[in-house]
């Protein structure tokens, strides 16, 4: 059986005030209340864009009005689509970074997505030594070019984030036990050092220039990743 994961991104730096207002109009009361608690305008813009994108893509995936979707949280706080009689069981994941948001949607499959700009000034080796596996940190250290190292750091970071979101554990799962190898073609090999030996598949790409986007999905059969900008 062939499954698909729909992934959509939106560049929020290009949004006008009317664009933001249109996104806010799709949100429910709880989302709007959370929006109002965000201090900075750019954070409110990105929050509204991400949640409006999710609602729009859920409707394109399964039908219905974007503003009609309702959400719940499981015992660990992972959000999910509220059950609708007769509708397919859908899972989703959201990510928003500086100037870009992303959502991933799948039917009945645990899914996680993360998107990050790769030009951020971070202490990559310091973070890697704290959170990455020994092999991942060693490969980063061997990279001579700063840009090459920084790019690979964010490839690993987004893959770990996507996996953590898919399983719903976040930082409760030590990130040093979630290890990856990425080749020059961005093919991903999952090398978990913990007990998870289930069937995971990953996609890694440049969503828009200067970013990396990673998707993780738990599936035992062939899967197609449908990744595009909204």
State the 10-residue block means of pLDDT for the chain, 230 residues long: 80 94 96 94 95 95 90 81 71 91 91 92 91 93 91 95 85 77 89 69 91 88 69
Boundary of a domain, candidates 108, 129, 144: 108
- Residue 170 CA: distances (Å) to CA of 30, 36, 118, 131, 178: 23, 25, 21, 13, 12
The answer to whether the beta carbons of residues 10 and 115 sit under 8 Å apart is no
The answer to whether the beta carbons of residues 92 and 102 sit under 8 Å apart is no
Q: What is the pLDDT of residue 72?
A: 87
Q: How many other CB atoms sit within 10 Å of the CB of residue 29?
A: 7
Q: What is the pLDDT of residue 84?
A: 63
Give the distance, in angstroms, between the CA of residue 178 and the centroid of all CA atoms in the same chain.
16
The number of domains in the chain is 2
Q: Mark whether 143 and 82 lie in a shared domain.
A: no
> What pTM was computed for the model?
0.89
Q: Mark whether 130 and 101 lie in a shared domain.
A: no
Q: What angle do CA 6, 215, 137 make, to 5 degrees?
A: 170
Domain range holding 160? 114-229
């Amino acid at each position: 059986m062939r499954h698909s994961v729909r992934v959509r991104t939106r560049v929020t730096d290009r949004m006008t005030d009317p664009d933001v207002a249109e996104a806010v109009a799709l949100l429910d009361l709880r989302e709007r209340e959370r929006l109002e608690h965000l201090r900075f305008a750019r954070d409110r813009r990105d929050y509204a864009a991400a949640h409006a994108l999710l609602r729009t893509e859920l409707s394109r995936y399964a039908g219905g009005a974007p503003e009609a979707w309702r959400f719940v949280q499981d015992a660990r706080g992972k959000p999910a689509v509220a059950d609708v009689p007769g509708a397919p069981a859908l899972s989703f994941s959201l990510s928003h970074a500086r100037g870009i948001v992303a959502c991933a949607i799948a039917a009945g499959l645990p899914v996680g997505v993360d998107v990050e700009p790769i030009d951020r000034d971070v202490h990559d080796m310091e973070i890697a030594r704290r959170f990455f596996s020994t092999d991942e940190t060693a490969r980063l250290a061997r990279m001579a070019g700063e840009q090459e190292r920084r790019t690979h750091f964010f490839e690993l970071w987004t893959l770990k984030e996507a996996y953590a979101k898919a399983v719903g554990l976040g930082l409760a799962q030590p990130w040093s036990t979630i290890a990856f190898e990425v080749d020059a073609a961005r093919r991903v090999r999952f090398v978990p050092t913990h007990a998870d030996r289930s069937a995971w598949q990953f996609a890694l790409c440049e969503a828009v220039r200067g970013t990396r986007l990673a998707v993780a999905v738990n599936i035992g059969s062939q899967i197609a990743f449908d990744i595009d900008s909204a």
